[in-house]
Structure 1
Amino acid sequence: MSSLPLDAVLIIIDVQQAFNDPSWGDRNNPAAESNVATLLGGWRKTQRPIIHVQHRSPRAESLFHPSRPGFKVKPEAAPLPGEPVIYKGVNSSFIGTDLEQRLRAIGAVTVVIAGMTTDHCVSTTARMAGNFGFATFIVSDATATFKRHGPEGKYFSAEQMHDTALASLHEEFATVVDTAAVMARL
Structure 2
Amino acid sequence: MTALILIDVQRGFDDPRAGKRNNPAAESNIKTLLDAWTSAGQPLVLVRHDSLFKGSPLEQGTPGARFKPELDGAEPDLMFTKHVNSAFHGAVDLHQWLTAKGINRIVLAGIQTNMCVETTARVGGNLGYEVHVALDATFTFDQAGPDGTVLTADELSRATATNLHGGGFATVTSTQEVLTLLG
Shorter-chain TM-score tier: over 0.9
Alignment match of 2:31 (pick from 27, 33, 37): 37
The one-letter code matched in structure 2 to 1:25 is G
Is this contact kept in 1: 2:7–2:110, CA < 8 A? yes
Q: Indicate yes or no: 2:16 matched with 1:22.
A: yes
Q: Distance in 1 between matches of 2:55 and 2:18?
A: 15
Q: Deviations over 1:153-176 (max 9, x none)?
A: 111111001111111101510000
Instruction: State the alpha-carbon separation in 1 of the partners of residues 153 and 44 from structure 2.
Output: 28
TM-score, normalization: structure 2? 0.94
Task: Report which of the two has the higher share of helix.
Answer: 2
CA, structure 1 residues 67+30, in 2 after alignment: closer, same or farther (shift >3 Å)?
A: same
Indicate if the aligned counterparts of 2:44 and 2:76 stay in contact, CA closer than 8 A.
no
Instruction: Describe the shift of the 1:100–1:162 C-alpha distance in structure 2 as closer, same or farther (beyond 3 A).
Output: same
**In structure 2, what is the equivalent of residue 130 of structure 1?**
125
Residue number among 4, 14, 25 corresponding to 1:10 in the alignment = 4
1:95 is matched with which residue: 89, 92, 96? 89
Inter-partner Cα distance in structure 2 for 1:47 and 1:63? 33
TM-score (normalizing by structure 1): 0.92
> Residue type of the partner of 1:175?
T
The 8 Å contact of residues 58 and 65 in structure 1, kept in 2 or not, is answered as yes
> Which ranges of structure 2 fall in alignment gaps of 5 or more residues?
none
Q: Is the 8 A contact 1:43 1:49 kept in 2?
A: yes
1:145 equivalenced with 2:140 (yes/no): yes
CA–CA separation in structure 1 for the residues paired with 2:143 and 2:55: 22
Q: Which runs of 5+ in 1 are unaligned?
A: 1-6
